[in-house]
Structure 1
Amino acid sequence: MNSADDQRLIEAVQARDETAVGQALADGADPNVTVGRFRGSVLAEAARDGKLGIVRLLMDAGARMEPADPYTASPLRSAVLEAHTEVVQFLVARGALAAEPATRSSVLTDAVSHTSFHPRPAALATLRVLLEARAAPGPADEAPLVTAVMRPVAPAALRLLLAHGADPDQRRSDETPAIVIAARRGDHAAVDVLLQAGADMEARDRQGRTALMHAVERNERPVITALLLAGADTDAVSADGMTALHLARGWQRQNVQFMLGERHAGLDDVPIARTAVRLTPTHVRLTGDPQMLQLLASVIDIALDDLGDDEWQCRTGTNAETAQSVAARLREDMVRAANASWHQLDVTADELGAARSALVELAYGTTRGTPAGTNRLEIIDLLAELDRQLSR
């Protein structure tokens, strides 16, 4: 072994100089030399950079596909994590899957995860290569479909897994069905993909609860809609005696009660067995450009002027003085963030409720005026954006 030749090989690989790599190998450099601490072998380095020509030279010279040590990634994993599809395909064809240690999560699990962490076409193509090569999850890994739903990944990745044989009724290691996991997380896109693939919408977890029950309890209305349109059973009873409607009543979710077929809904005190904790923030930080915060103030002013104090309080359930106060604060009290370009204002839950109520009045109520330069559809969009954030 010649350390000078090895160093030349390392430098050539890092410089992505295929000619220099070939010369260093011809001069006797070790194809398994490590680049440095935590970076692994020169083969892993070349795979990480996506340099297929260099990978081929190193493999032909006898480079090993195992990780250089227990703390570094293998060449295959290095290529998967960077979504270098051609390198992954080459290494798989040379037997790299068999060289992966069983003590780590599988490269298949990593590939599924990376369609969420670093989404791009190459990540999906890399996952396809591994699926076509029949890559399998590791002994401690969840099934790929479960991993995908738990991340969550885009529908394209779910459809790819299903097209390569994933079971839409796959269960997690604790026996929770994939469709229940998706429903609990509010992932209506995943629920829809699973339903189209034939997943059992009435599948139950260990508590005997269905996807619909979990979606109702968490107020995930897009998921509820998808399940109801697919024909989910609203009368199903869990092991502890709960139904979807019972859960909606217990959480006083009146909109959901109507979705489930109720004709009348009130704030009834209904005891239920809860499987979720609901957060009720008492203060919220509004952030945005000054003109956006001032726009909210103008929305409140218009609604108040149109309705009058008494009608405002009757229609919105919020105090007119609170609405007037937050409108003034939106104009006068906002400050620029210390380490960012936006402006911000901390408001109470009641103040936020007043701002939202004003948006509702301009979007869907009898008030027809809108702030200068805006229209009703833009107010509807702003309300929808606020509601999405509040539902997270």
Structure 2
Amino acid sequence: MNEAADHDLIEAVRAGDKAAVERALADGADPDAAVDRRRASVLIEAARGGRLGIVRALVEAGASVGPFGQFGVSPLRVAMLQAHADVAEHLIAHGALPLEPTRRTSLLTEAVTYTRHRPRPAALAMLRVLLEAGATPLPGEETPLITAVMQPVAPAVLRLLFAQGADADQLRSDGTPAIVVAARRGDHAAVDTLLLAGADVNAGDRQGRTALMHAVERNEQRVIAVLREAGAAVDTVSADGMTALRLAQGWHRQNVQFMLGEMRVGMDDVPIVRTVVRISPVGVRLAGDPPMFRLMASVIDVVLDDLGDDEWAVRSGSSTETARAVAQRFRDDIAPGLHASWFELEVTAHEFAAARSALLELAYGTTPGGVSRLEIVDLLEEIERQLGR
């Protein structure tokens, strides 16, 4: 043991000084010297910093490419977490992949997950290295495609998986097709990418419910549009007797019924078998800047002045008293958010419904006067998106 050389090696690795690393190794430093006796070797430290030249020097000197210390940290996993694809590729070429511990999440599953949590080109490159090296999920883990759809990730990740041979009709471990998983989550981009890769648009889960049925029940209208344009069948009957149209009727979703081809719709009380729980908040907390609150107050004023009390009550289902009260609150009651730079206001569900009705009127009906109709349309669509409508 050459403690002085080991110390020099550790300092050189920390400094990223490749020449000093080589000198310390030539002086007899241990290529497996511990930076932290429980967690990190010098190779792990170099891998974490993405220092490929130093990684090469240490590996050539005989450093172990497997797990280190009592926690089983490996240089390959550290490189993966930091998306240093070139370092990972070098470690894999020297036998690191089969040495990965099996008591943790597989490298491949973590790499797919990281493309969502830390999206960047390097993360995609890291995933490509693992796929090309033949990395696989551990027993009990989902396939990379299902993991990706469940996240959800960017379409570029799905395209990479397809380029590496993934089957677009893969099933989740419970027998649910990938396209159904994506539809349930409202991920229209994933649905479209799966369809372009050859997924069966009418594939069903174990109950025979298709992606279209699940999208209809969840009011995911962008997903519905993608599926309908790809030829999704409207008349498929599930094992429990449901169709996409019947589900739309049971949830009173008139817009969806039109999307499914109906020419006339109503509010019939159609019994259905529901697989979701709809949330109806009794209150809403709004956050924004004072000009946006004043804009919403002005919208209410314009609509009430244009329609009058009776027509407003008929068209909106709320009283003018509620609408005028919330408009006044938008002007007077907003307060700075706690530890935040925005302003906030808590309104009741009825107050919020009145404000939304006014936005609808001004976006598509009432003459906006001095307010930009397109600005109101943008505001309404953003609210609708947040509400999942």
TM (norm. structure 1) is: 0.95
Q: How much is the aligned-residue C-alpha RMSD, in angstroms?
A: 1.6
Cα distance per residue 1:225-246 (max 9 Å; x no partner): 1111111111111111111111
User: Whole-Å Cα distance in 1 between the matches of residues 73 and 189 of structure 2?
Assistant: 33
**Cα offset, 1:10, TM superposition:** 2.4
The one-letter amino acid paired with 2:380 is L
**Cα offset, 1:194, TM superposition:** 0.3
| Correspondence 1:102 to 2:99 | no
With 48-57 and 262-271 compared, the bigger mean Cα shift is at 262-271
**Is the contact made by 1:182 and 1:188 (CA closer than 8 Å) also made in structure 2?**
yes
Cα distance per residue 1:267-304 (max 9 Å; x no partner): 22222111111111111100011111111111111111
**Is the contact made by 1:84 and 1:126 (CA closer than 8 Å) also made in structure 2?**
yes
**Is the contact made by 1:40 and 1:72 (CA closer than 8 Å) also made in structure 2?**
no
TM (norm. structure 2) is: 0.96
Match for residue 235 of structure 2?
Answer: 235
With 252-261 and 164-173 compared, the bigger mean Cα shift is at 252-261
Cα distance change, pair 283–11 in 1 and its aligned pair in 2 (3 A): same
Match for residue 308 of structure 1?
Answer: 308
The one-letter amino acid paired with 1:130 is L
Match for residue 391 of structure 1?
Answer: 388
| Correspondence 1:252 to 2:252 | yes
User: Whole-Å Cα distance in 1 between the matches of residues 70 and 139 of structure 2?
Assistant: 17
Match for residue 382 of structure 1?
Answer: 379
The one-letter amino acid paired with 2:98 is A
Secondary structure, aligned partner of 1:156: helix
**Is the contact made by 1:184 and 1:214 (CA closer than 8 Å) also made in structure 2?**
yes
**Is the contact made by 2:146 and 2:172 (CA closer than 8 Å) also made in structure 1?**
yes
**Is the contact made by 1:46 and 1:52 (CA closer than 8 Å) also made in structure 2?**
yes
- Where structure 1 has 5 or more consecutive residues not aligned to the other structure, the ranges are none
With 79-88 and 187-196 compared, the bigger mean Cα shift is at 79-88
User: Whole-Å Cα distance in 1 between the matches of residues 55 and 154 of structure 2?
Assistant: 31
With 302-311 and 65-74 compared, the bigger mean Cα shift is at 65-74
Secondary structure, aligned partner of 2:236: coil
User: Whole-Å Cα distance in 2 between the matches of residues 141 and 253 of structure 1?
Assistant: 37
**Cα offset, 1:390, TM superposition:** 0.8
**Is the contact made by 2:37 and 2:69 (CA closer than 8 Å) also made in structure 1?**
no
Match for residue 263 of structure 2?
Answer: 263
User: Whole-Å Cα distance in 2 between the matches of residues 356 and 121 of structure 1?
Assistant: 40
Cα distance change, pair 37–324 in 1 and its aligned pair in 2 (3 A): farther
The one-letter amino acid paired with 1:145 is L
| Correspondence 1:320 to 2:320 | yes
The one-letter amino acid paired with 1:385 is E
With 19-28 and 53-62 compared, the bigger mean Cα shift is at 19-28
User: Whole-Å Cα distance in 1 between the matches of residues 348 and 8 of structure 2?
Assistant: 64
With 125-134 and 77-86 compared, the bigger mean Cα shift is at 125-134
Match for residue 62 of structure 1?
Answer: 62
**Is the contact made by 2:303 and 2:366 (CA closer than 8 Å) also made in structure 1?**
no
User: Whole-Å Cα distance in 2 between the matches of residues 367 and 350 of structure 1?
Assistant: 24
How many pairs does the alignment contain? 389
Match for residue 138 of structure 1?
Answer: 138
User: Whole-Å Cα distance in 1 between the matches of residues 295 and 17 of structure 2?
Assistant: 57
**Cα offset, 1:37, TM superposition:** 6.2
**Is the contact made by 1:215 and 1:221 (CA closer than 8 Å) also made in structure 2?**
yes
**Is the contact made by 1:299 and 1:370 (CA closer than 8 Å) also made in structure 2?**
no
User: Whole-Å Cα distance in 1 between the matches of residues 70 and 195 of structure 2?
Assistant: 41
**Cα offset, 1:4, TM superposition:** 3.8
Cα distance per residue 1:196-255 (max 9 Å; x no partner): 111011111122211111111111110011111111111111111111111111111111
The one-letter amino acid paired with 1:195 is L
Show the 5 A alignment for 1:270-349.
270-349=270-349
Show the 5 A alignment for 1:131-210.
131-210=131-210
With 230-239 and 85-94 compared, the bigger mean Cα shift is at 85-94
Aligned-residue identity in percent: 65
User: Whole-Å Cα distance in 2 between the matches of residues 344 and 215 of structure 1?
Assistant: 33
**Cα offset, 1:38, TM superposition:** 6.2
**Is the contact made by 1:105 and 1:140 (CA closer than 8 Å) also made in structure 2?**
no
User: Whole-Å Cα distance in 2 between the matches of residues 377 and 331 of structure 1?
Assistant: 22
- Where structure 2 has 5 or more consecutive residues not aligned to the other structure, the ranges are none
**Cα offset, 1:123, TM superposition:** 0.9
**Cα offset, 1:72, TM superposition:** 4.2
